[in-house]
């Protein structure tokens, strides 16, 4: 009988986030196995049913690498950075749009969530331009078909949200000539979250959040004000791949998103625990 | 961490009853103390926030008796049945509409539920006629201003429901001359549930449900098909004040309500436990 | 045959006030007998049918006093002002909401007006705060559960008006803790009129309007500009209970109400005569 | 002060005909002088403002004759019936559409009625076919461009009515080749009334109604059931030009119009007196 | 097979002007014969069907002169300018509204265009005032019932456009007393185009456009910036009747119309050629 | 100047098919080169802009074969029929959804058509079941993950159409367990056309239509009534791969599609020529 109290405890959060848009960045590294995928899908559908408006922007790095392997396509790197040539872009698009998105949609539908997969190309959902060559370590480097987001077609997303569909978005952009561009999934998620005035941006990844000591999961920092970020980077607490994630969060908050969350998407019900409990389970970034 | 599973366990019920109307008959005997009242209000608001459309029809017998006492108004009885004369009707209306309804609205508002109290007279919400004299034990008896429901103004209720208000309805009817009529609260609840195509009619009372042995709470009958009702009455399992309640349930189901529930409204979270768990905690009547 | 000219004479007023909101403050002292009540209701319904949007805020002083008498509740006074303790508030609410409002609704429905009674508590229609102790004649006095209006939930009222219902509002406020507060009915009427951008505020009371000589009904002042009010008060022409009424009018006009009218609600068709004739029958206050 | 009772007496009719469509056939013989035209326009606007939905179909015989005279166009007759050749049709259209309709619109606008003149040709409002030759007194006669109504474009009329415009319709039809056809104005009015489900068809003409003795205005028959019509024709009570008018009324009632009225449009406020008084001033035909 | 390329070539224009309002001034001198009228109507309907929103304001000078002749009405002139007395105004209105408008509507309907004829008087579509006496050649001259446009009732036009009707407007204005006023058709067209935010104003007349040498059709000036107009007038290139047309165009463009076109309406498909080809066939005025 | 007549000639077709849904089956064999793809996209966008509602269901056989080759995946055949195992299904989905659909969307967007790629899985757009083993040549054969369509989610498609998006649909079905199923593209197109009440189903393929003599393109049969189909199959005129295409057409027409067309999609503007010319360029099947 006590269990039902959890519902009552969740009520303040359900009220607070009622009708609010929650942008879930579903990272490729969080898609560890079928059970995790099913669990994330079920949690997302629950958010929908208790009155929120979830949207998903997914990644897919590991799966893309596997597919390139299979196709015998050698990845090219310049100064440690992957170069996206035309053939690579074609594979990326096939994997993101034709495989990962459709799989996520399948999982959501299994749990009775009306989901629709969208590429950033659909009706120019994510309009972008080629990043162009940039200087890295004193060298001019062109990473190929990599895009920077110019704008997001929110009309299209609003249509889906108003009609109770869950949009599942691949981080592929389209330029003014109709070409596909490879987008960083975190960045794309941040841009979409900002454009649609999301309440939250939740990044599901494969670490517990920002750790003071990377080897000690108990050193999790639960809350970071955006004003504290520069110092944390300087001190090396935020480092490596976490830096662009945090920067995406800072930018999203500056653009009006109320809070950003970095959580371990592999952990069961991490999404619900982050939203429906006071402390959450990961790191929250806020103003 | 396990606790969050309750949310997941509730999901199938949340889905199933999404956008469905739930008519809660809130009996006077279930309003035992402030904590119980607050708890029922909070549970009702939770139903609203997780996507259902709750409506309340309340009773108020004990409170009416208290008020008549205070006013020195002697209750009149014929053959053991209370007679509603004009003065009594005036007191009933003041208590139901001016006290109990407004209190329930206060409690719901405290929990962020947008609630509106309605008398059956408002815009002829519950149109009724005087019951007239009837034969009881070979004697012609006129119980006074007691009404039988003719029809329910569902347009008005739909307007409230569509605009996300929780209607709180007093069991007072209006006849074609604009007179007030005293209605049996269970019957009124059943008629409203039928008229608005409610998914469920939940009667909050002060017993655990239908008991095989009235002295043994463990003898609760969890499920009763309406076809089994006549036999259960014949056998005396359903008896006394439970008979009209069950008859209201049978009629409601025949009119399209999917299931009726008789539960102990004094018990904490009885509403949630009945809706969100497989077995519930009271008696369910269904087709 | 000549009679029909009255319709033609009313046409300019019907045009002028088409689709305009008319707030009728229906004072307790204007509810003298059944015939007067029926006549006021019929006039209100006529306003509705010829295209205006009437709303009623009612008082109920005399009825409240009668009920307190019956219940043996001694009224408490400090410095001649009534004190509203919890028990008194409960009685006030029962009488205003459970008796007077429902009676007015009955009368309107008898004349085919779709009316709905509302307490200021319904969906926080009239949000207020406790007035607090104030200094009267050098003494600190706390009049108890007396409220000052903070804001009016116009969404709710607009919903009723758009759907062609006539709202009948009891002057009871709700504070942030869900408590009931006693409101001055004139003040409440003025606040509602301002909030909904009423064209007119018409105060039905038991005097013919503002009289130069209180003993001479022929000394009625037909029109008062709000700029003339201070002088009239100074000269003692506006005095006693008329002062707060006029102050309500002045404030309403400053908030955008086009004109306020103080008329004798006991007089047959006073409402129609005030609206549909050039001179009216009472006192009009305007900018 | 007594006068205001007329408003109250009108209330039951205002209620009864609220939101109902009233088709006014405004005959050419009722347009006697400027004052009569102004009065009819004002009455029509009053109907609109008190909640009805008036439409006008007008005639124009006398004006057409005057214009043909001026243009030196000799009217042609066969067996006493006017023949509509192409040149005549052109004049008819210019007079009905370009003169009478625009004048009626001017009058309505002067009284603040939003009116729009429509020809039966506008968006094929009145689709018709040429009547063809018919046998009259054993002789085959072709009256030329005279039309019989096939159907009425109610979508167009509903658009005007919903947007609160008063349609003013000239009795000109259009055939499938886009040609104009001369329509009998009474018949056209009856067809439009039937098509739009009018509550009433009111024919404004230059006689008081159906008289038992044509020389005695006091012999007016106030009410005629459609079942009584054949006998009245047989007895010669209904005769001459009154026969087709009554036949139009009978057909309209058979098609669902609730009542038809033949009244003297030259009489001041005849429209209002017919609608707002118990006996009316002309003859009512009903089922 | 090559022909179909024309459709493809038209596509950029179809896209560019999709959902845009195109105001066609259909001059009386362009209505040369039945074939030309039919062709203009068909072209207009085609614009509608490929997604534009055409409106027509027509003239009718030659037809008015013919009708005045027939009626033996002597035209009056002061200093070479026609004077509009009451009788003349009546004839003008009959011809414009009752003849030319209804004919254009007939032609449009024949080609399946849902058209509605409107006078500037309908629901005060074109509100105007009498121009008053003005000084011409040192003499005070009053040209009679000639109007200057004050405002255009765009609500009415938007209603037609939204419901897919083609409005056909006669250049007749209405003043505050309900009187008809004669309007210059070019000016009226310009005012309507400005009021409804038309994309284009296309003036169909009987010359090829602005010619450098009036005797040489090959000297057509295809494009004129409004800044070039004063010089062209000074140089005498724009002269006579072309001056007010060009001034109308300049004013329309200053009020937001994107481009104005003066083309030879007698030429087959001139409307389509002007809109769907790069160079057009007449003169375009733009900013 | 003559060219513009093509627009006028197209007008009857533009009118006839205004607001009508046109389902284009875009076969893989019709996607021969970039120019053909661009041309088909431009023609489709033109249909949209001139008022029709095009939808695309595409195939992709040749591209799927190429991708399987690249991935070193050996196609499996039983009795000459391709077997779809899980790995094959994954490749099919990646190619159809992630490559062909996104390419078509790119082309449409380049020509300003707002297009959205949809898999049959999106919001269960095409609900299907596994075909199961069937007897072929006396042998039980299971072709694997091949689906038969159960129903089409027309709500989703209507949402896109109403909001002016062009849906581009991959022939992938979803079963009740969320699995992907390979669908025959012709069949899927026929089912979608029937479900949305398409006016036309146009199959773009790589033959000119049905030929009496397969070696003689001049032997094209322009029109076939569905009643003639059995005889044509019996006579061997319809044979091989054309049989299932024609059967799809017959079924679609029986389900309400007005006409089906088999045309050579490789031919420039074949879509426009088929729709906008009297004879078309392929074979039309109709009732």
Question: Which residues are bridge partners to C44 per DSSP?
Answer: none
C-beta atoms of C4 and D42 within 8 A: no
Contacts of D280 in chain C (CB under 8 A): none
Q: For residues B227-256, give the mean pLDDT.
A: 95
Closest of E173, E195, E167, E197 to residue E185, by C-alpha: E173
pLDDT exceeds 70 at position F199? yes
Transcribe A45-93 into DSSP letters.
Answer: HHHHHTT-EEEEEE--HHHHHHHHHHTTPPPEEETTEEEB-HHHHHHHH
Percent of chain D past pLDDT 90, that is, above it, reads 76
Q: What pLDDT score does E287 carry? A: 93
User: Does A contact B via 3+ CB–CB distances below 8 Å?
Assistant: yes
d(CA F152, CA D222): 63
Helix (H) or strand (E) holding A205: strand A200-205
State how far residue D127 is from chain E, nearest Cα, in angstroms: 12
State the Cα torsion B200-B204-B207-B212 to the nearest 10°. -10
Can you list the domains of chain B with their CATH numbers? Answer: 2-286 (3.40.1160.10)
Query: Would you say the C-alpha torsion A94, A100, A105, A110 has a positive or negative sign?
Result: positive
Nearest Cβ partner of C273 from D4, D6, D14? Answer: D4
Cβ neighbors of C12 (< 8 A, separation 6 or more) are none
Indicate yes or no: CB of D4 within 8 angstroms of CB of C112: no
- Tell which phi-psi region holds residue E124, choosing left (phi > 0), alpha (psi between -120 and 50) or beta: left
Q: Say yes or no to pLDDT of D19 above 80.
A: yes
Nearest to A112 among B15, B45, B49 (CB): B15
Q: Which of C143, C82, C92 is nearest to C119 (CA)?
A: C92
In the predicted structure, residue A92 carries a pLDDT above the cut 60: yes
* Chain D residues close to E94, C-beta within 8 Å: 94-95, 98-99
C-alpha–C-alpha distance, residues A31 and A26, integer Å: 8
**C10: chain D residues, CB-CB within 8 Å:** 7
Identify which of D95, D101, D109 has the shortest CB distance to residue E174.
D109
State the burial class of residue E38 (Cβ atoms within 10 Å of its Cβ: 0-12, 13-18, 19+).
middle
- Separation in Å, CA of D105 to nearest CA in chain E: 7
Whether residue C163 is annotated as binding a ligand: the answer is no
- Rounded distance between C-alpha atoms, residue C184 and residue C128, angstroms: 12
What pLDDT is stored for residue B187 in this prediction?
95
Radius of gyration of the CA atoms of chain A, in A: 19
Query: How sure is the predictor about D156, in pLDDT bands with cuts at 50, 70 and 90?
Result: very high
Of F1, F112, F272, the CB nearest to E4: F272
Report helix, strand or coil for E116: strand
CB-nearest to D6 from C3, C18, C42 is C3
- In b/e form, how buried is each residue of F30-55, taking b as 16+ CB within 10 angstroms? bbeeeebbebbbbbbbbbbbbbbbbb
Task: Give dist(CA D200, CA D21) in Å, integer.
Answer: 7
On the question of pLDDT at A1 being above 70, the answer is no
Are the beta carbons of F106 and A121 separated by less than 8 Å? Answer: yes
Q: Which of F130, F178, F96 is nearest to A106 (CA)?
A: F178
Confidence bin at B16 (pLDDT 50/70/90): very high
| E strand segments, chain C | 21-26, 53-58, 76-78, 81-83, 115-119, 126-130, 134-136, 139-141, 147-152, 166-170, 172-174, 180-182, 200-205, 223-225, 259-264, 283-286
Contact at CB, C11 and D276, closer than 8 angstroms: no
User: Distance (Å, rounded) from C-alpha F228 to C-alpha E67?
Assistant: 62
E-chain residues near F45 (CB < 8 A) = 11
State chain F's mean pLDDT as an integer: 92
Q: What is the mean pLDDT of chain B?
A: 92
pLDDT at A135: 80
Integer Cα distance of B68 and B94 in angstroms = 11
- Sheet containing strand F180-182, edge to edge, reads F147-152, F126-130, F172-174, F180-182
Which residues does chain C have within 8 Å of residue B42's beta carbon, measured at their own beta carbons?
none
Q: Is residue D103 less than 8 Å (CB to CB) from chain E?
A: no
pLDDT at C225: 97
Contact C180, B105 (CB under 8 A): no
Among the residue ranges A226-235, C236-245, F165-174, the one predicted with the least confidence is C236-245
**Element housing C155 (H / E):** helix C154-162
C-alpha–C-alpha distance, residues F118 and F157, integer Å: 10
- Which range among B64-73, C95-104, D11-20, F161-170 shows the weakest confidence by mean pLDDT? B64-73
pTM confidence score: 0.90
- Weakest-pLDDT range from B186-200, C157-171, D201-215, F67-81: F67-81
pLDDT for the residue D1: 42
Query: Nearest C-alpha of chain E: how many angstroms from D59?
Result: 15
Annotated binding site of A for substrate: 60-61, 82, 182
Q: Which residues of C touch B102 (CB under 8 A)?
A: 93, 97, 119, 121, 172, 180
Look at B112 and A15 and tell me if their CB atoms are within 8 Å. yes
Q: Is the pLDDT of residue A198 over 70?
A: yes
Confidence of residue D2 (pLDDT cuts 50, 70, 90): low
Chain A interface disruption, residue of B50, B208, B264, B267, most A CBs within 10 A? B50
Residue F33 has pLDDT above 80, yes or no: yes
pLDDT at B2: 52
The predicted model gives D222-245 an average pLDDT of 94
C250 Cα to chain D: minimum distance (Å): 29
DSSP A267: S
Q: C101 to chain B: which residues are within 8 Å by CB? A: 97
Question: What pLDDT does D9 receive?
Answer: 81
Nearest chain F residue to A69, by CA: F71
Residue of A nearest to F168 (CA): A122
Mean pLDDT of B84-97: 94
Residue A20: burial class (beta carbons within 10 Å; 0-12, 13-18, 19+): middle
Query: Which pairing describes strands B172-174 and B180-182: parallel, antiparallel, or unpaired?
Result: antiparallel
Q: Check if the beta carbon of residue A260 is closer than 8 Å to that of residue A286.
A: yes
End-to-end CA distance of chain B: 39
Helix extents (H) in chain B: 5-16, 34-49, 61-70, 86-95, 101-110, 154-162, 185-195, 229-234, 242-254, 270-276
The mean per-residue pLDDT over the stretch F83-103 comes to 94
Q: How many residues does chain E have?
A: 287
B165 touches chain C (CB under 8 A): yes
pLDDT of amino acid D94 = 95
The pLDDT tens digits of the residues spanning B148-185 come to 999 999 999 999 999 999 999 999 999 999 999 999 99
- Rounded CA-CA distance A122/A229 in Å is 35
A7 and B46: CB-CB below 8 Å? yes
Chains that touch E (3 or more CB pairs under 8 A): D, F
Starting at the earlier edge strand, list the strands of the sheet with F166-170: F115-119, F166-170, F53-58, F21-26, F200-205, F259-264, F283-286, F223-225
Q: Residue E108 has what pLDDT?
A: 96
- 3-state secondary structure (DSSP) of residue A39: helix
pLDDT tens digit sequence for C104-113: 999 999 999 9
Lowest-confidence range among D156-165, D277-286, F6-15, F17-26?
Answer: F6-15
Residue F107 has pLDDT above 50, yes or no: yes
Interface D:E, Cβ pairs < 8 A: 103
Average the pLDDT over A114-141 and give the result. Answer: 90
Q: Find out whether C121 and B102 touch, Cβ atoms under 8 Å.
A: yes
Chain B residues inside the 8 Å CB shell of C98: 93-99
Give the angle B106-B112-B113 at the CA atoms, nearest 5°.
Answer: 70
- Among residues B107, B96, B25, which one has the least CA distance to residue B66? B96
Residue A61: half-sphere exposure toward Cβ, Cα within 13 Å: 12
Among chain E residues, the shortest Cα distance to D117 is held by E122
Provide CB contacts within 8 A for A138, sequence distance 6+: none
User: Which class for E148: exposed (0-12), middle (13-18), buried (19 or more C-beta within 10 A)?
Assistant: middle
Distance, CA of D190 to CA of D250 (rounded, Å): 9
Half-sphere exposure of C264 toward its Cβ, with a 13 Å CA cutoff? 14
Q: How far is CA E39 from the centre of its chain?
A: 17
Confidence of residue D246 (pLDDT cuts 50, 70, 90): very high
Whether C272 and D18 lie within 8 Å, measured CB to CB: no
Classify A155 as helix, strand or coil. Answer: helix
Count of Cβ atoms closer than 10 Å to residue A250 Cβ: 19
CA distances from E238 to C248, C276, E137, E226, E242 (A): 67, 60, 22, 12, 6
A14 touches B: beta carbon within 8 Å: yes
Residue F154 contacts A where some CB pair is shorter than 8 Å: no
Measured between alpha carbons, how far is C104 from D119 in angstroms, rounded to an integer? 49
Q: pLDDT at residue D50 above 80?
A: yes
Residues of chain E with pLDDT under 70: 1-3, 80
Indicate whether this complex's ipTM tops 0.90.
yes
Read off the DSSP letter of residue A279.
S
Q: State the binding site of F for substrate.
A: 60-61, 82, 182
Q: Which subunits sit against A, judged by 3+ Cβ pairs under 8 A?
A: B, F
Residue E3 has a pLDDT of 66
Report whether A133 contacts A140 (CB < 8 A): yes
């Amino acid at each position: 009988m006590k269990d039902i109290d959890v519902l009552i405890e969740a009520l303040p959060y359900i009220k607070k986030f009622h009708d609010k848009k929650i942008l879930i960045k579903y990272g490729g590294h969080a898609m560890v196995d079928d059970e995790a995928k099913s669990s994330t899908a079920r949690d997302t559908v629950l958010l929908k049913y208790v009155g929120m408006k979830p949207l998903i922007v997914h990644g897919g790095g590991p799966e893309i690498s596997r597919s390139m392997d299979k196709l015998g396509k050698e990845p090219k790197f310049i100064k440690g950075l992957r170069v996206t040539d035309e053939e690579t872009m074609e594979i990326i698009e096939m994997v993101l749009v034709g495989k990962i998105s459709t799989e996520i949609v399948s999982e959501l539908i299994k749990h009775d969530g009306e989901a629709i997969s969208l590429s950033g190309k659909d009706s120019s959902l994510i309009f972008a331009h080629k990043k162009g060559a940039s200087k890295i370590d004193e060298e001019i480097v062109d990473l190929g078909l990599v895009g920077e987001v110019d704008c997001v077609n929110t009309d299209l997303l609003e249509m889906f949200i108003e009609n109770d569909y869950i949009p599942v978005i691949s981080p592929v952009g389209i330029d003014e000539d109709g070409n596909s561009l490879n987008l960083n999934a975190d960045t794309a998620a941040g841009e979409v979250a900002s454009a649609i005035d999301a309440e939250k941006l939740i990044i599901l990844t494969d670490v517990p959040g920002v750790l003071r000591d990377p080897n000690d999961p108990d050193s999790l920092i639960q809350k970071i004000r955006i004003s504290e970020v520069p110092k944390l980077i300087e001190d090396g607490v935020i480092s490596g791949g976490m830096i662009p994630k945090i920067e995406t969060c800072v930018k999203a908050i500056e653009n009006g998103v109320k809070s950003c969350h970095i959580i371990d998407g592999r952990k069961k019900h991490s999404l619900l625990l982050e939203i429906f409990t006071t402390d959450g389970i990961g790191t929250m970034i806020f103003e």
